[in-house]
Amino acid sequence: MAKTKILFITHEMSPFLELTKISEITRQLPQAMQDKGFEIRILMPRFGNINERRNRLHEVIRLSGMNIIINDNDNPLIIKVASIPSARMQVYFLDNEEYFQRKHVFADGSNKFYEDNDERTIFFCKGALETVKKLGWSPDVVHCHGWMSSLVPAYLKTIYKDDPTFKNSKVVYSVYDDGFTSNLNPAFATKAIMSGMDAENTEIYTAATNTALNLGAISYSDAVVYASETINDEVLKFVKKGNKPTLEFNLTSDFENYYNLYEEIANEELVSLA
């Protein structure tokens, strides 16, 4: 049998960028799945405070050169890659000079939330999916971690649903503690609409709050993971109402519960046909 393929999309990962608990999970979980025989790929933004020389990032020419359109503007996408030799894992970094080449990640030196965090999120989510298409690699499961990946489930279930790369992909979304307390730009949901989508597809994201992004991602996902001990009450109610496969917060050393979830949803159609 072919190996199950898992795509991890995250805005942080140890040792490259360590902001929250997400960085630990996205470092350990992919390795654990690889050790269990899964084929994995990992994508994250190349924020300006990720040291390129120390982490030995280098550009992947064959993947670079695309433009991601946001608000009718073309934004060049550069793809870089780095390895974690001890884990035999490669990580792909999405780079763009205007969006990511800054000293800070989501807020400036005076802790002011960047006004274009909405566009940075859209760029990352669109760019991640286009990068995977260019890789020519079809994931069985796409696992999104954190609010910056929250548009990926919406795109996968609308504009990319018939794309040969993703048409059989299942989506898992990990919900963490509230990631930000400010709001994104009020036009976020409108800007996020891709050609072939309509306003209804992104309506759930309209409030542009951390909760709205979580609700949007969950509504389009096939399964949900509670990745923190404390989850927003509105989000909890929404998940329960949706009645989707849910993984409770329980970080076992070998991530066996994640393995079982991936296998379950990746083989869902096979089970229903049996």
- Given a contact cutoff of 8 angstroms between Cβ atoms, the answer to whether 130 and 66 are in contact is yes
Could you tell me which residue, 10 or 3, shows the higher pLDDT? 10
Could you tell me which residue, 80 or 254, shows the higher pLDDT? 80
Sign of the CA dihedral running 139, 143, 147, 151: positive
For the cut 50, the answer to whether the pLDDT of residue 270 exceeds it is: no
Q: 269: pLDDT confidence band, cut at 50, 70 and 90?
A: low
Mean pLDDT of 137-158: 96
Mean pLDDT of 178-197: 90
Residue 224 main-chain phi, psi, to 5 deg: -130, 140
One DSSP character per residue, 25-40 reads: HHHHHHHHHHHTT-EE
Tokens at 170, concatenated? 């299942």
Beta bridge partners of 83: 90
> What whole-number percentage of the chain has pLDDT above 70?
96
Mean pLDDT of 19-36: 92
Beta bridge partners of 58: 81
Beta bridge partners of 79: 94
What's the Cα-to-Cα distance from 109 to each of 46, 104, 106, 119, 224, rounded to whole Å? 19, 7, 10, 20, 34
Tokens at 211, concatenated? 């909760």
What's the Cα-to-Cα distance from 85 to each of 19, 44, 75, 109, rounded to whole Å? 22, 18, 32, 33
State the pLDDT at residue 62.
86
Mean pLDDT of 192-199: 91
| Of the listed ranges 74-83, 139-148, 228-237, the one predicted with least confidence | 228-237
State the pLDDT at residue 143.
98
State the pLDDT at residue 243.
85
Q: Which are the contacts of 90, defined by CB distance < 8 A and separation ≥ 6?
A: 41, 42, 81, 82, 83, 84
- Domains in the chain: ranges and CATH: 5-43+118-273 (3.40.50.2000)
Tokens at 135, concatenated? 């890789």
- Given a contact cutoff of 8 angstroms between Cβ atoms, the answer to whether 259 and 28 are in contact is no
For the cut 90, the answer to whether the pLDDT of residue 251 exceeds it is: no
Mean pLDDT of 171-179: 89
For residue 15, is the peptide bond before it cis, meaning its omega torsion is within 30 degrees of 0? yes
Q: What is the mean pLDDT of the chain?
A: 90
State the pLDDT at residue 253.
67
Mean pLDDT of 160-180: 91
Tokens at 259, concatenated? 């393995």
Q: Alpha carbon 242 to chain centroid distance?
A: 21
Determine the Cα–Cα distance for residues 167 and 65; give it in Å rounded to an integer: 25
How do strand 5-10 and strand 58-59 relate by DSSP bridges? unpaired
What is the SS3 assignment for 118?
Answer: helix
Range list of β-strands (E), the chain: 5-10, 39-45, 58-59, 66-70, 73-84, 89-95, 141-145, 170-175, 223-226, 246-247
Which of 223, 191, 220 is closest to 204 using CA atoms?
220
